[in-house]
Amino acid sequence: MEATFKIKGMHCKSCKALVEDVLLDIGVKIVSLTVDETKKEGTLKVNTILKPEELTKTLKEETGYVVTKI
């Protein structure tokens, strides 16, 4: 099931690497992940069976970023 999220706090290439790393570990397929370095915000599109609340919780725990579903 496809879902899109906004991630607040991403400001560099390694922030992207971190999110990719976490998602890889929990087996979530990334459709796209783009980072706006000036706005310090990332847009994440995924295809997963996980519930959105689970995803946002895991991401926040592992990365510290605030994740909201859009």
Partner 1 sequence: MWSQRFEMKQKIYCPDIMCESCNKVIERALAKLQGIQSYIFREDSVDVEFDESLIKVEQIMGAIREKGYRASLEPLGKKRIKERAKEFLHDKQKYQIEYQMLRNITVTFLLLLVLDALFIYYKGRTEPTAFSNYGWWLLYLTVAVVTVAGAIWHFKAYKAQYTCMVGMMIGMTLGMQTGIMFGAILGATNGFFVGALVGMIMGVGVGAYCGSCCGVMGIMEGMMAGVMGGTMGPMITLMMFNDRVLWFMPLFMFFNVAILIGLSYMIFEEVVEGNNEVVRKPWGLAVFLGGCGIVLAVLLLIILLTPPSIFVA
Shortest approach of partner 1 to residue 12 CB, angstroms? Answer: 6
CB closer to partner 1 out of 2 and 23 = 23
25 makes contact with partner 1 (CB under 8 A): yes
Near partner 1 by CB under 8 A: residue from 4, 8, 12, 31: 12
Contact 3, 48 (CB under 8 A): yes
CB closer to partner 1 out of 12 and 31 = 12
End-to-end CA distance of the chain: 14
Residue 69 CA to residue 3 CA, distance in Å, equals: 8
Residue 46 CA to residue 53 CA, distance in Å, equals: 13
Structure tokens at 23: 């998602």
Q: Return residues touching partner 1 (CB under 8 A).
A: 10-12, 14-15, 17-18, 21-22, 25, 62-64
